[in-house]
């Protein structure tokens, strides 16, 4: 129904996009949905789903074909994220693997790293995760404590990470750590750490209020020897790389929210036409119609903005603050849409087997991960008040120096 009034999406306009969308839908119906309850119980997805996705060419979509990737532009990743989310899914976590982890390796890694990891990531034989957040710090990435000491031909890594998406199922993690501990610069670097390396251990998947089938866990590093060849890019440049890649990560979340809102509205239009009260369908009440009209309007506006952001990302023109706006606006709206839609389901909305309950629970985290929405506002405001915030920072720095 909502489809009837949706503007044509120019970013997904080609025949190739349509065919790809059908493959994604078939894959989800056949290889994901039938297993979802089992995955929710165990807290992680089975490897079989990854291998099937690999066979269908659904992993590493934007990686170069010489590394086994699809050689496609980001609009295909966007379509896959949105479609999966519209169908009520976030797991298996392909977006983290394909659109974030693989991109770090391909963009900044050596040829050796690309050859070792990307082809197996494309087939689903090797799953990658990204570890930035730590028990003592998430928003303030520069305050991480994990550190790696230079020991000649290898680094010795110590520390821990938390909240790591697909950390439990992954075969390796890109770990953000300080490689000059004890010096004033400290320098954040990114190391590829294989899960079977001695001293690397994992916690059990967390029991979460949403995203139950996608694992999130803690990682521990105790004197882990990481070969020097596993450094991504240059030593000490990890923070710069992370800042450069954050807009893409934020877009994956914005797209997830767009898909989830579309799915929630579709589900609610359907449900309210079937359910009756006072001898008429719930959809017959003006309140229902107005609510859905409001939500569909808001979604349409956001979709147009997000489509433009996808185009900008493809053109390498998407700025961090615009990506922050997309993430902030869509995730706030997702919270509102899933809440309002759940209300129209009445008591059934509170029951897990109804998709709207899952959508409501899953929506909550999008305002938190990938940088909280408060941090999104910090990024946007910094741009609005550029010179002014720089002056304040300088004043604070001087004050600190005076105290020393």
Ligand X SMILES: Cc1cc2nc3c(=O)[nH]c(=O)nc-3n(C[C@H](O)[C@H](O)[C@H](O)COP(=O)(O)OP(=O)(O)OC[C@H]3O[C@@H](n4cnc5c(N)ncnc54)[C@H](O)[C@@H]3O)c2cc1C
Supply the residues annotated as catalytic. Answer: 249
Nearer to ligand X, 72 or 375 (CB): 375
Judge whether 86 and 261 are in contact, CB under 8 Å. Answer: no
Percentages of the chain per state (helix, strand, coil), in multiples of 5: 60, 15, 25
Q: Which is nearer to ligand X, 75 or 338 (CB)?
A: 338
Q: 237: which DSSP letter?
A: B
Contact 82, 255 (CB under 8 A): yes
Quote the crossing angle between the two packed helices 74-86 and 238-274, to the nearest 10°: 40
Report residue 216 CA to chain centroid gap. 12
Q: Shortest distance, CB of residue 373 to ligand X, whole angstroms? A: 7
CA dist 202 and 219 (Å) reads: 5
Nearest-approach distance from CB 214 to ligand X, in angstroms: 7
How many CA atoms, within 13 angstroms, populate the side-chain half-sphere of residue 398? Answer: 6
Q: Which single residue brings its beta carbon nearest to ligand X?
A: 138
Q: Please, what is the minimum distance in Å from the beta carbon of residue 380 to ligand X?
A: 12
Q: Which residues bind ligand X (CB under 6 A)?
A: 96, 130-133, 137-139, 163-165, 211, 216, 365, 368-372, 374-375, 378
Report which secondary-structure segment, H or E, holds 226.
strand 216-227
Structure tokens at 227: 């070969």
Alpha carbon distance 328, 304 (integer Å): 15
Contact 230, 117 (CB under 8 A): no
Smallest gap, in angstroms, from Cβ of residue 367 to ligand X? 9
Residue with Cβ nearer ligand X (253 or 299): 253
- The dihedral formed by the CA atoms of 345, 90, 175 and 141, expressed in degrees to the nearest 10: -40
Nearer to ligand X, 292 or 363 (CB): 363
Least separation in angstroms between CB 44 and ligand X: 13
Task: Considering the complex, state which of residue 79 and residue 164 has its C-beta at the smaller distance from ligand X.
Answer: 164
3-state secondary structure of 195: coil
């Amino acid at each position: 129904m909502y489809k009837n009034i949706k503007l044509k999406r120019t970013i997904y306009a080609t025949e190739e996009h349509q065919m790809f969308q059908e493959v994604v839908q078939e894959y989800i119906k056949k290889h994901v949905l039938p297993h979802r309850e089992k995955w929710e119980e165990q807290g992680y997805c089975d490897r079989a789903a990854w291998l099937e996705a690999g066979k269908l060419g659904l992993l590493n979509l934007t990686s170069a074909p010489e590394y086994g990737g699809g050689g496609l532009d980001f609009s295909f990743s966007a379509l896959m994220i949105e479609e999966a989310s519209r169908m009520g899914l976030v797991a298996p976590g392909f977006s983290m693997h394909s659109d974030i982890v693989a991109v770090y390796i391909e963009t900044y890694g050596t040829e050796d790293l690309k050859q070792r990891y990307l082809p197996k990531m494309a087939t689903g034989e090797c799953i990658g995760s990204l570890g930035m957040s730590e028990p003592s710090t998430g928003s303030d990435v520069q305050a991480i404590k994990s550190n790696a000491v230079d020991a000649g031909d290898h680094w010795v890594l110590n520390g821990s990470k938390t909240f790591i998406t697909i950390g439990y199922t992954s075969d390796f993690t890109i770990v953000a750590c300080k490689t000059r501990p004890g010096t004033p610069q400290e320098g954040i670097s990114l190391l590829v750490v294989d899960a079977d390396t001695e001293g690397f251990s994992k916690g059990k998947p967390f029991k979460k209020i949403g995203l139950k089938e996608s694992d999130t866990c803690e990682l521990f590093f105790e004197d882990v020897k990481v070969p020097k060849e596993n450094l991504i890019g240059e030593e000490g440049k990890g923070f710069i790389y992370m800042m450069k890649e954050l807009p893409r990560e934020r877009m994956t979340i914005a797209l997830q929210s767009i898909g989830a809102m579309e799915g929630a509205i579709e589900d609610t239009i359907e449900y309210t036409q079937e359910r009756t009260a006072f001898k008429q369908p719930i959809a017959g009440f003006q309140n229902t119609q107005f609510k859905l009209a409001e939500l569909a309007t808001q979604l349409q506006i956001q979709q147009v903005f997000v489509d433009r952001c996808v185009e900008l990302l493809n053109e390498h023109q998407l700025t961090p603050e615009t990506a922050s706006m997309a993430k902030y606006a869509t995730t706030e709206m997702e919270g509102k849409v899933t809440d309002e839609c759940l209300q129209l389901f009445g008591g059934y909305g509170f029951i897990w087997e109804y998709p709207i309950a899952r959508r409501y629970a899953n929506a909550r985290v999008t305002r938190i991960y990938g940088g909280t929405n408060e941090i999104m506002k910090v990024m946007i405001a910094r741009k609005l008040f550029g010179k002014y915030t720089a002056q304040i920072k300088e004043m604070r720095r001087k004050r600190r120096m005076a105290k020393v």
